[in-house]
Amino acid sequence: MRILTMTAGLLAALFVAATLLLRTPAVENALFEQALANAFSPRQAALFDGDGLKVVFCGTSSPIPSKKRAQACTGIVAGDRFFMVDAGTGSWETFAVAGVPADKLAGVFLTHFHSDHIGDLGEANLGSWIAGRPEPLSVYGPKGVETVVAGFDEAFALDNIYRTAHHGPEIANPKTAGMVAAPFDGAAPTVVYDGDGLKVTAFPVDHGPVKPAVGYRFDYQDRSVVVSGDTSYTQSLIENAKGADLLVHEAQSNRMVAKMRAAAEKAGDTRIAKVLGDIPSYHTTPEEAARAANEAGVPWLVLTHLTPPPDNPVAKRIFMRGVSKIRKDHVRLAEDGLVVSLPKAGGVRFSRLK
Ligand SMILES: [Zn+2]
Ligand SMILES: [Zn+2]
């Protein structure tokens, strides 16, 4: 007993000593400098190893807020560059915090112009500009993308002038500050990008009354990924996903949305109840997404744009209820920072941004 008491006393004394030591300026400085060395070291070189396609989930939520998830964003890495499919609020931070080299951002593909898909467009442009992106940022999208790009450019025009005046044109080059809209019709499958081995095809989806709305298919080194954008269950997506290695599909649990609506009504929040009553028809349930993946014959399905964002194990189970009856395996929920690699030699690997 006495030995136990002495040991406990010794441990307590050691704890106090360690705490005091940690609080000395010299130790604090050393810890801070080590953290900075890690932050400034190139941490994401593996993403750009040139081996096949990689998908980085930069935002996996929807307009329903989540502390754990940014809004809609799917990163696509091909060779020494990366692209964003949509730029929802908070999504640029996923790349920035992980130390993804921002100057490698080579373009943004917008699926449609709902706020949860465009909120961070200005941040993505600004961050990649200051990091040394060699050209103005290309923003691809169906008709209407010109309006979105012009608006962001105008909103950031004064910021850009301040930064050039402050840091000089070597860092904040006014020639590369803005964005360039690359609109396309969106009514039929169209190759909207073809360069350095990467082919990107836009195809129409059904997000009515939002028109046009598109999904994208990326083909590179004989690997392919399809990103659905916002859509209800639609044959167009199935047709365009055939032969792909991975389907990244939006998902909304209408079971959970119905319960949210009932709770809003009970609480007397009629405005939110009305909105929750409007949305089931223009999204895809997890079960429908599983059916679409099966019908397209896609080996892997990852669900994103999760409505509502299922941020605990119970919510995840409710969200995925019924899916295993349709698709037994090779289906999972995305989370921010998830990386799915499709190496040239085949197979699928899952990891996380470190
Ligand atoms: Zn939408
Ligand atoms: Zn959306």
* Ligand closest to the CA atom of residue 85: 2
Q: Which of 49, 51, 116, 153 is catalytic?
A: 116
How confident is residue 12, by pLDDT bands cut at 50, 70 and 90?
confident
Q: What is the CATH number of the domain that holds 332?
A: 3.60.15.10
How far apart (Å, rounded) are the C-alpha atoms in residues 86 and 89? Answer: 10
Q: How far is the CA of 215 from the centre of ligand 1 (A)?
A: 12
| CB under 5 Å of ion ligand 2: residues | 114, 116, 230
pLDDT digits (tens, 9 = 90+) for 179-225: 999 999 999 999 999 999 999 999 999 999 999 999 999 999 999 99
Q: How far is the CA of 113 from the centre of ligand 1 (A)?
A: 7
Residue 39 lies inside a defined structural domain of this protein:
no
This prediction has a pTM of: 0.93
User: How many domains are contained in the chain?
Assistant: 2
Residues 76 and 190 grouped into a single domain: yes
How confident is residue 9, by pLDDT bands cut at 50, 70 and 90?
confident
Unique residue bearing structure tokens 């609020």: 89
Residue 266 token pair: 């009970």
Residue 151 lies inside a defined structural domain of this protein:
yes
Residues 22 and 156 grouped into a single domain: no
Contact present, 304 and 88 (Cβ < 8 Å)? no
Least reliable range by pLDDT among 44-48, 56-60, 69-73: 44-48
Residues 54 and 1 grouped into a single domain: no
How far apart (Å, rounded) are the C-alpha atoms in residues 84 and 92? Answer: 9
Residue 187: what are its φ and ψ, rounded to 5°? -85, -15
* Ligand closest to the CA atom of residue 86: 2
Residues 17 and 137 grouped into a single domain: no
Residues 27 and 68 grouped into a single domain: no
Does the structure show a pLDDT above 70 at 6? no
Q: How far is the CA of 140 from the centre of ligand 1 (A)?
A: 17
Render 129-141 in DSSP notation, one character per residue: HHTT-SSPEEEEE
Between the CA atoms of 300, 305, 310 and 313, what dihedral angle is there, to the nearest 10 degrees? 20
* Ligand closest to the CA atom of residue 114: 1
Closest CA to 279 of 231, 238, 335, 228: 231
Going from the C-alpha of 177 to that of each of 139, 180, 220, the distances in angstroms are 13, 10, 29
Report how far Cα 80 is from the mean position of its chain's Cα atoms: 19
Residue 41 lies inside a defined structural domain of this protein:
no
Domain that includes residue 19, residue range:
1-34
Residue 119 lies inside a defined structural domain of this protein:
yes
Q: Which residues, 6 or more positions from 146, have their beta carbon under 8 angstroms from its beta carbon? A: 181, 183
What local confidence, expressed as pLDDT, does residue 1 receive?
Answer: 64
Q: How far is the CA of 343 from the centre of ligand 2 (A)?
A: 29
Residues 18 and 157 grouped into a single domain: no
Residues 219 and 272 grouped into a single domain: yes
Q: How far is the CA of 306 from the centre of ligand 1 (A)?
A: 12
Residue 40 lies inside a defined structural domain of this protein:
no
Residue 235 lies inside a defined structural domain of this protein:
yes
Q: How far is the CA of 282 from the centre of ligand 1 (A)?
A: 8
Residue 102 lies inside a defined structural domain of this protein:
yes
Residues 157 and 191 grouped into a single domain: yes
Does the structure show a pLDDT above 80 at 8? no
Residues 8 and 93 grouped into a single domain: no
Provide mean pLDDT across the span 100-110: 97
Report how far Cα 336 is from the mean position of its chain's Cα atoms: 7
How far apart (Å, rounded) are the C-alpha atoms in residues 13 and 10? Answer: 5
Contact present, 231 and 237 (Cβ < 8 Å)? yes
Q: How far is the CA of 1 from the centre of ligand 2 (A)?
A: 63
Residues 199 and 310 grouped into a single domain: yes
Residue 284 lies inside a defined structural domain of this protein:
yes
Percent of the residues in the chain that have a pLDDT greater than 90, as a whole number: 88
Which region holds residue 330: left if phi is over 0, alpha if psi is between -120 and 50, else beta?
A: left
* Ligand closest to the CA atom of residue 116: 2
* CA Rg value for the chain: 23
Residues 52 and 23 grouped into a single domain: no
Q: Which residues, 6 or more positions from 328, have their beta carbon under 8 angstroms from its beta carbon? A: none
pLDDT digits (tens, 9 = 90+) for 255-301: 999 999 999 999 999 999 999 988 888 999 999 999 999 999 999 99
pLDDT digits (tens, 9 = 90+) for 236-248: 999 999 999 999 9
* Ligand closest to the CA atom of residue 211: 1
Q: How far is the CA of 162 from the centre of ligand 1 (A)?
A: 34
Contact present, 320 and 308 (Cβ < 8 Å)? no
Mean pLDDT of the chain: 95
Active-site residue flag, 86: no
Residue 133: what are its φ and ψ, rounded to 5°? -55, 130
Residues 187 and 326 grouped into a single domain: yes
Long-range contacts of 345-351 (CB under 8 A, 24+ apart): 345/52, 348/245, 348/246, 348/299, 348/300
